[in-house]
Structure 1
Amino acid sequence: MSTLAPIRVAPGGRYFETFDNQPFLFIGANDAVPWPGLEGLYRRRDLDGVDAYLHGLADSGVTVLRLMLEYAHREGRYFERPAGRFNPAMVRLWDDLFARCEQHGLRVLLAPWDNFWMSRRWNRHPYNRENGGPAVSSHSFFTDDAVIDATINRLRFVVERWGGSGVLAAWDLFNEIHPYWGGTPAQQGDVIARISDAIRAAEETAWGFSRPQTVSVFGPDPGPDYEDLIFRHPGLDFATTHIYQGAIDYPGDTVSPALEMANWVRFALARTPPGRPFTDSEHGPIHLFNDHRKTLPEDFDDEYERHLMWAHLATGGAGSGMRWPARHPHVLTPGMLQALRGLSAFTRLIDWRHFTPRDASADVCVGGAPHVYAFGCHDGRQAVLWLLRDRPAGHAGPLPARSPLHDVPLSLRGLVPGTYHVDLWNTIEARAGGCVGAEVAEDGTLRIVLPMLGNDLALAVRRIDDRIDVRFRF
């Protein structure tokens, strides 16, 4: 029996909780079974190494990994071979991975396909009819009943074997949905409903519950044809996009990507109905890495990623956003893990289960401190804010060391009158940086003075005369 409780959308509708009422955020990154951290699972070549890797992630506050059942970059890792026959080596690999994630308290956001490599190596894929599979072409995943039934059969196998485990957090029913895979967006939406219903029914029959579902898309703007499917499909529970765009795709500094991230989180939340969380489930310097064959210097990448995760959380995303490593080797750096540790610890300061925020960037004023960007969200009783000083004119790369600003006045409009507690958080050192108390009068404005502002600072604001649930696993 699983010791990890399954997750569901929390009562506030914008974040998640476990079935035993613990708040849950998607804090983590993308991974893959042939990448360095998990490659030892295959044929049990280095299970001790995998254990050490997962222990390090859990110790860094990671709560979830986004994984695909197979990663078709090379032969030997197909989940089915031939189609309909589940590869014993891969089934054992997933048995071992689920057991070890359970041990370390980690969960998985699971997608059935690695669509990138599946499309590029279609001639070898087991679902190709030339290889005995059901698909006439790779363009028939949403138009051919035999392919749809094969997809449902694949996911039912997962449900029956591992669906009782809380390790399986949620489904990404189709990674980076696109016209390439066949059908119109409307037809694809109908097929997603069919797959969704089949998987929910299988889960309810086998285990008595179902887990959250999403469908992802490449890029932050799915366009008018896909907007309903991605943000508002009635069969799905949360929305995800892959924020590869502009300064995130090809960064020249570490401030512009944060502004880009916040812009696209706002864009997504403005199109997502109440009661449905949103999170980025892939981001990173993919254009720089894939097309220009360049890897960011580690100090640059560490700050770039730390800024992205705080921009995502502070603007209302349901966690850190999920990095696609885009590095050699293809893993997160120690600095990124340190940043995740700090963000995860910070999350203990907010009652996410009941937090129903809206964008607060227009409600924040930082006085006497030019060139400070304010990222934030609040619901009248709680707020998450992140302040980021701009880069000096013409500066590229990581922000320079510079003298902090002192005695910086900050105000936040739109709060319920009462007594508030403001925790200050040092995101660089991943630790608390003091706290400030304040009274909010009838005008609904919180006014405090920040003792010091370095290159950035996070703030957790909560009304202390409410009953606040700030439980969180870390």
Structure 2
Amino acid sequence: MLPWITRAPGAPYFVTGTGEAWTPIGQNDAITWPELAGLFHRRDLPAVEQHLRHLRDHGVTCLRLMLEYAQGRHRYLERPVGRFVPAMVQLWDDLFALCGRVGMRVLLTPYDTFFTWTRWRHHPYNAANGGPCDAREQLLICPATRKAVKARLAFATDRWGGSGVIFAWDLWNEMHPAQADNKADAFAEFIDDVSPFLREIEMRLHGKAHLQCVSIFGPELIWKPWTVDPVFRHQCLDFANSHFYEEGTIDDPRDTVTPAIAVGRLTQEALREITDQRPFFDSEHGPIHHFKDRHRTLPEAFDDEYFRHMQWAHLASGGAGGGMRWPNRTPHVLTGGMRRAQRALADFLPLIDWPRFDRRNLNDQLKVDNPRLKAFGCGDAAQALVWLLRQDLAPAVGGLRQVVGEGEIVAAVQVPGLTSGPYQATYWNTREGQMTGRQEVTAASAGLTLPVTLSGGDIAVAVRRA
């Protein structure tokens, strides 16, 4: 039985029920995509188990999944509303059993709201099909639909919620004002109603409750400022999630530096909205416009570097883990290079004492004496994490530019906030997933001067009190 996941009591990260550090490393997956397709009608359960073991062996700890993926018409969880389809229940029975056996956890959201919206005329919740909701613009506020939402969550936790396989509930995927007739208080009202309902059921059934969040499509933080408070600060939620699909930088990349800088800035902006110690991470990102609208798949070598840079920018800027990619590839799976990048991140994690890392974002406070390097970082009085990214770009290939990975760069980084005294700095090759050096350094009242020699495209450094 997997221990449940909870928040670290003194830091914006996660721990297991036994007090060990736990970090969400993973990506979005779906029950219709190639690697999980064998679940349906139990067509190939051994292949799914092999896939999960492959993920675990590459450092993956968590998948983000939707109980219903509505791109087609054959994976509805309920049809009609209130009748849970036996084949789908069996699918989830099998998946939760496999995850428990392998040691994989799930960030679970009850609806695929994107395809529910775009294929509304087919959905069982549509009143035209005998469902409770007259219009998709009422999904978040329709009383009859709310009743169905609660019934789905109650069914799910009664059947599968007793397991530590569920890391947390994303109560609603990508809350959007259009789903609530653009009512300014709709998000908070939904959370006020659904969150305590689920928590009370879980306490009655299991004696404890899984963590909760809601997610939002990142640009909404700009378009609708009144969405920020419920997503990032609602008292019923345990951590905060956003989806990083910034236009022109992340959703359709032209190089592998600009998206990383965008992730650093977006993570910093998200942390500014959080007024307590709740963790934050990006639970969706990727080249969505390039793939979905332009119908192109990024070249693998470029995409691998784009992925790796974004995950390190996210972690170093104070996010929990490296963020969760939406594949946006053909086929709809992550590459081998991305899996190696996840392994490299996982192997780095023990260098920081996460349950006692009360970090703040340092992106704007780090000082690097070489303009060719961009610094990302976070720290507290006893630890710091710094990631340095080379900004030299090679000539374009197919309109896309990667980082120049050759030639040595020597620099010094000023890291503020550390208490005066001795520290140990561990240098990490993010591409190979290996330590490249370790040295003793000393912080003075003005901060810590960290010497860095970079021979590739980037380097991560963990700093801990000696």
2:69 matched residue in structure 1:
71
2:387 matched residue in structure 1:
386
**Is residue 394–residue 403 contact of structure 2 (8 Å, CA) maintained in 1?**
no
User: Structure 2 matches for 1:208-223, cutoff 5 A?
Assistant: 208-222=207-221, 223=224
CA distance in 1, matches of 2:275, 2:200: 24
1:137 matched residue in structure 2:
135
Query: Offset at 1:221?
Result: 4.4
Name the aligned partner's letter for residue 428 of structure 1: R
CA distance in 1, matches of 2:171, 2:450: 45
> Are residues 1:108 and 2:109 paired?
no
Query: Offset at 1:220?
Result: 4.4
> What's the secondary structure of 1:341's corresponding residue?
helix
Alpha-carbon RMSD: 1.4
> Are residues 1:346 and 2:345 paired?
no
Q: 1:434 aligns with which of 428, 434, 437?
A: 437
User: Structure 2 matches for 1:15-34, cutoff 5 A?
Assistant: 15-34=13-32
> Are residues 1:243 and 2:252 paired?
no
TM-score (norm 1): 0.94
CA distance in 1, matches of 2:413, 2:180: 52
User: Structure 2 matches for 1:219-234, cutoff 5 A?
Assistant: 219-222=218-221, 223-234=224-235
2:414 matched residue in structure 1:
411
TM-score (norm 2): 0.96
Q: How many residues align?
A: 459
Q: 1:397 aligns with which of 397, 401, 421?
A: 401
1:266 matched residue in structure 2:
268
Superposed CA offset, 1:236-282 (max 9, x none): 11111111013111111000000010010001000111221111010
Q: 2:427 aligns with which of 421, 424, 447?
A: 424
Query: Offset at 1:217?
Result: 1.0
Query: Offset at 1:365?
Result: 2.7
Distance 1:448 1:192, change over 3 A: closer
**Is residue 415–residue 445 contact of structure 1 (8 Å, CA) maintained in 2?**
yes
**Is residue 416–residue 444 contact of structure 1 (8 Å, CA) maintained in 2?**
no
> Are residues 1:357 and 2:359 paired?
yes
CA distance in 2, matches of 1:147, 1:423: 52
**Is residue 133–residue 142 contact of structure 2 (8 Å, CA) maintained in 1?**
yes
CA distance in 2, matches of 1:79, 1:92: 11
Query: Offset at 1:192?
Result: 1.8
Name the aligned partner's letter for residue 452 of structure 2: L
Name the aligned partner's letter for residue 283 of structure 1: H
Query: Offset at 1:444?
Result: 4.6
Distance 1:125 1:106, change over 3 A: same
CA distance in 2, matches of 1:453, 1:413: 25
Distance 1:413 1:101, change over 3 A: same
Distance 1:29 1:187, change over 3 A: same
User: Unpaired segments of 5 or more residues in structure 1?
Assistant: 465-474
Query: Offset at 1:359?
Result: 1.4
2:88 matched residue in structure 1:
90
Name the aligned partner's letter for residue 201 of structure 2: A
Name the aligned partner's letter for residue 74 of structure 1: G
**Is residue 404–residue 455 contact of structure 1 (8 Å, CA) maintained in 2?**
no
Residue range with higher mean Cα deviation, 187-196 or 206-215? 187-196
Superposed CA offset, 1:99-132 (max 9, x none): 1111111110011100111112111111112222
Residue range with higher mean Cα deviation, 36-45 or 447-456? 447-456
Superposed CA offset, 1:410-453 (max 9, x none): 33122112221111100011111111111223x15222423444
Query: Offset at 1:174?
Result: 0.6
Query: Offset at 1:61?
Result: 0.4
> What's the secondary structure of 1:85's corresponding residue?
coil
Q: 1:445 aligns with which of 433, 437, 447?
A: 447
Residue range with higher mean Cα deviation, 143-152 or 179-188? 179-188
> What's the secondary structure of 2:178's corresponding residue?
helix
> Are residues 1:311 and 2:310 paired?
no
Superposed CA offset, 1:60-104 (max 9, x none): 101110000010111210111110011111111011101111111
> What's the secondary structure of 2:31's corresponding residue?
coil
Q: 1:329 aligns with which of 308, 328, 331?
A: 331
**Is residue 13–residue 274 contact of structure 1 (8 Å, CA) maintained in 2?**
no
Superposed CA offset, 1:8-38 (max 9, x none): 1111241111111111111110000000110
User: How many percent of aligned residue pairs carry the same amino acid?
Assistant: 47
2:34 matched residue in structure 1:
36
**Is residue 356–residue 378 contact of structure 1 (8 Å, CA) maintained in 2?**
yes
1:468 matched residue in structure 2:
none
Name the aligned partner's letter for residue 446 of structure 1: L
Which structure 1 residue ranges, 4+ long, deviate > 3 Å from structure 2? 392-396
Query: Offset at 1:409?
Result: 2.7
> What's the secondary structure of 1:438's corresponding residue?
strand
**Is residue 58–residue 340 contact of structure 2 (8 Å, CA) maintained in 1?**
yes
Name the aligned partner's letter for residue 98 of structure 2: R
CA distance in 2, matches of 1:451, 1:308: 22
Residue range with higher mean Cα deviation, 239-248 or 139-148? 139-148
User: Unpaired segments of 5 or more residues in structure 2?
Assistant: none
Superposed CA offset, 1:142-183 (max 9, x none): 322211011000000111111110110001111011122224
Query: Offset at 1:140?
Result: 2.1
Name the aligned partner's letter for residue 426 of structure 1: N
**Is residue 185–residue 229 contact of structure 1 (8 Å, CA) maintained in 2?**
no
